[in-house]
Amino acid sequence: MCSATNGGFVPNFGDFQLEIYFGGLGGVLPTMPMTYSELEERAKYALPPGIWSYVAGGAGDELTQRVNVTAFEKYGLIPRMLRASKERDLSIELFGMTLPSPIFMSPVGVIGLCSQDGHGDIATAKAAARTGVPMVMSTLTVDPMEDVAAHFGNTPGMFQLYTPTNKDVAQSFVSRAEASGFKAIVVTLDTWVPGWRPRDLSTSNFPQLRGHCLANYFSDPVFRGLLAKSPEDDPKTAILTWISMFGNSLTWDDLDWLRSLTKLPIVLKGICHPEDARRAKDAGVDGIYCSNHGGRQANGGIAAIDHLSDVVEAVDGLPVLFDSGIRNGSDIVKALALGATAVGIGRPYAYGLALGGVDGLVHVLRSLLAEADLLMAVDGYPTIADLNPEAIRRG
């Protein structure tokens, strides 16, 4: 964002390239990759094999995961000349919040294990505080939500809910999220049963079954009240209890109950069909999250980006979050032009965290925003509002 505010000057996100070039004059070269392909390749060797396969893998033969990425190649921004502006504004309004950029960090259920210190959820929160990029924190974390939220600083966070079958535990999670300062509840709909993931199956690896990333359950007073012994004293029973309540196959009839849990905005994640989007809006939800879980849950579907325009049209003004397949700044801009209110980053930030901790994650976010900002500058789109459907064509 670049603007004059109360006499102050806020640099454009694209100015990150100037930092890099001027650093080079002093012999300082980037230690982090500048392309997604290199980021992915290096992360493969930085992460333990089981965590790498879990983050990098998808459902089935991973066709949907691949087309999520390649589908962006079919879309192109149309350059507009004589509209150049040295000042760009990439800020957005979302659920009453003014955010400095249109991106957020999507929920990643093992992000806590992607950091070398084993506290990746807190590292992600620290990166959110440094960049102003919100974190959508997964239900599945290494550290309890209260500890994670304490590191957000002035950046808002959102809580992603894998809705437990036990309604009292669900209420407790949402109440804790409210008390911790989260600004919205993002309800994931497409993971009430795990998808068929050959990479994980080949290593018989499901981290939560080994007790990883269950801190929100094990720290929850209602969940603990269901146990004869504490999770610390009897982890096996605690894990089995988690298994028994993970996987709530929600239906439309459950939306009134979900709404009763909180006054926070409720966002439904996994909506791809326009009729589902219309019905969700009619039911009173506050936002739609168009996503196919990055291709991790259901294989054989079309790319998530190919659903976006229809979903946006169906909800007619309701905020639409989007993720799945975002790999670079141009992907972000294309998703915005197709109507996304905000765009989620997934694997790229997990890999940045794996390679460089908080600094590595911040590098990835700044790089994505710099590329998006510079693309908008070169092509003559100085604000998010300029990125309308007429700005993009499908080739």
Q: Are 336 and 102 in contact (CB under 8 A)?
A: yes
> Residue 2 has what pLDDT?
43
User: Residue type for 25, please?
Assistant: L
Smallest Cα–Cα separation from 12: which of 380, 385, 366?
366
pTM of the complete model beyond 0.85: yes
Give residue-wise pLDDT tens across range 64-87.
Answer: 999 999 999 999 999 999 999 999
Run of H or E including 104: strand 103-105
3-class secondary structure for 203-256? Answer: CCCCHHHHCCCCHHHHCCHHHHHCCCCCCCCCHHHHHHHHHHHCCCCCCHHHHH
Give residue-wise pLDDT tens across range 203-226.
Answer: 899 999 999 999 999 999 999 999
> CB burial class (10 A; 0-12, 13-18, 19+) of residue 390?
exposed
- The answer on pLDDT for 4 being more than 60 is no
Q: Are 75 and 394 in contact (CB under 8 A)?
A: yes
Q: Which fold has domain 33-75+90-365?
A: TIM Barrel (3.20.20)
Domain boundary assignment for the chain? 33-75+90-365
Give the integer Cα–Cα distance in Å for 333 and 231: 45
Give residue-wise pLDDT tens across range 176-192.
Answer: 999 999 999 999 999 99
151 is catalytic: no
Binding residue numbers: 54, 107-109, 138, 160, 162, 188, 197, 269, 291, 293, 296, 323-327, 346-347
Q: Is 187 helix (H, G, I), strand (E, B) or coil?
A: strand
* H helix and E strand count, the chain: 17, 14
Q: In this structure, what DSSP letter does residue 7 have?
A: T
> Residue 3 has what pLDDT?
41
Q: What is the dihedral of CA 333, 334, 335, 341, to 10 degrees?
A: 50
- What are the tokens at 51? 């965590």
β-partners of residue 159 are 137, 185
**Catalytic, out of 119, 151, 212, 293:** 293
- What is the sign, positive or negative, of the torsion defined by CA atoms of 121, 125, 130, 131? positive
Give residue-wise pLDDT tens across range 79-136.
Answer: 999 999 999 999 999 999 999 999 999 999 999 999 999 999 999 999 999 999 999 9
- What are the tokens at 81? 């000349």
- The answer on pLDDT for 53 being more than 80 is yes
- What are the tokens at 196? 């068929």
- What are the tokens at 38? 């290199």
> Residue 10 has what pLDDT?
60
Higher per-residue confidence, 325 vs 5: 325
Give the integer Cα–Cα distance in Å for 311 and 46: 37
Give the integer Cα–Cα distance in Å for 154 and 312: 29
Q: Are 3 and 334 in contact (CB under 8 A)?
A: no
Task: Give the strand pairing for 75-77 and 392-394.
Answer: antiparallel
Average pLDDT, the chain: 96
Please state at what angle helix 305-315 crosses helix 329-337, rounded to 10 degrees: 30
Give residue-wise pLDDT tens across range 145-165.
Answer: 999 999 999 999 999 999 999
Binding residue numbers for glyoxylate: 54, 162, 197, 293, 296
Give the integer Cα–Cα distance in Å for 288 and 201: 31
